[in-house]
Amino acid sequence: MTTREVSPSFGCAQPSADPVWETECAAWLREKHSTEALAVMFARFREGESSMDVSLRRVIFRALCRRVGSDIQIGTGVVLKHPETMEIGDCVFIGAQTMIQGRFDGTCRIGNHVWIGPQAYFDARDLVLEDYVGWGPGAKVLGSTHTGEPLDVPIIATNLQIKPVFIGYGADIGVNVTILPGVRVGAHAIVGAGAVVTHDVPEYAIVAGVPARVLRSRRDR
């Protein structure tokens, strides 16, 4: 079997300036419409693949969020909850059918040059993804858990504990990874496909498995 090595595309791309009409239209929409009304508008163009659908998704997405940088790409079927808490950097790709679920008093920060694969799920009530994070298709982050107390109450009816999740600069999260509440993934770390991450991951570490364990450091030769 032959392995090919090609130059990166997304990771080395420089953000291009957005059309002036998009930024002006987004500002006007934010001024004139409520978050609820904007969410309804976004849903109208969520599934379309025409150039008009793509442009209007970008415009309304920008109007919905607290801050959005330039050159964002938004796939079809993306779902947002409490986008008014979300800050998103330049040159970000959000794949099809991704769900980002915030909270009215939460914090969600996604840095520059972040690539999010299709069907990703983010419990984004206290979430930071630093610059140049790669997020594999189907990967998930959970930011909260029920206390399960008192014992005679259904678990789903007990209080939630929201714990921050932090993904460091340049980290790569593999396909179908699950990251649990309170986890910090260090810069430049690699999390292998299908891993369930229950504890912090050191910088430059390669981890894999269920639960995820450190296999080695990328600094090792």
Q: What is the distance between the alpha carbons of residues 198 and 122, in angstroms, rounded to a whole number?
A: 16
Q: What is the distance between the alpha carbons of residues 171 and 25, in angstroms, rounded to a whole number?
A: 34
Helix (H) / strand (E) element for 108: namely strand 107-110
- What's the pLDDT tens digit per position in 60-90? 999 999 999 999 999 999 999 999 999 999 9
Domain boundaries, the chain: 19-64, 74-217
Q: What is the pTM of this model?
A: 0.93
Closest CA to 195 of 179, 171, 217: 179
- What's the pLDDT tens digit per position in 6-63? 888 888 878 788 899 999 999 999 999 999 999 999 999 999 999 999 999 999 999 9
Indicate the SS3 state at residue 103.
coil
Hey, what CATH class is 74-217 in? Answer: mainly beta
